[in-house]
Amino acid sequence: MKPENTIRDKSFDFALMIIELFKICKSQNEFVISKQLLRSGTSIGANVQEATAGFSKKDFLYKMAIASKEARETQYWILLLSKSKLVVFNEEKYLTEIQSIVNILTSIVKTTSENLNNT
């Protein structure tokens, strides 16, 4: 399977995990950070999906770079929720998955950028 298909599947599954975490946050009366988390966490997959339908390699790279930025923002919100102890949740599960996504996206952006520069 190509990396962009793997990342598409992983980012979709992660968005479902984020929706689950958003529900946990709401049940524990946390409404501010959880909304930021919901936006950035579901945006990763949306940008990956758009990238796969890109008009050009530059368009693909641009959307993947945005997905990478959203993944890093999501990582920040998860860490903030975890360290602030505003919500009780299994942070390791989320942190492990978002780190995997960040690593894949970083690799995709780096490789695509190098390929564009070599053409």
Q: In a 10 Å sphere around its CB, with 0-12 CB exposed, 13-18 middle and 19+ buried, how is residue 1 labelled?
A: exposed
Query: Shortest CA distance to 101 belongs to which of 35, 53, 40?
Result: 40
Is the Cα torsion angle 106, 43, 39, 101 positive or negative in sign?
negative
**Residue range 3-117, CATH number:** 1.20.1440.60
Measuring CA to CA, which residue among 91, 101, 104 is closest to residue 20?
A: 91
Are the C-beta atoms of 73 and 37 separated by less than 8 Å? no
Reported as a single tens digit per residue, the pLDDT across 31-77 is 999 999 999 999 999 999 999 998 899 999 999 999 999 999 999 99
Q: What 8-state DSSP symbol labels residue 55?
A: S
Is residue 1 over pLDDT 50? no
Helix (H, G, I), strand (E, B) or coil at 27: helix
- pLDDT, one tens digit per residue, over 89-112 is 999 999 999 999 999 999 999 999
Q: Compute the average pLDDT of residues 114-118.
A: 92
Domain boundaries, the chain: 3-117
> Per the confidence metrics, is the pTM higher than 0.85?
yes
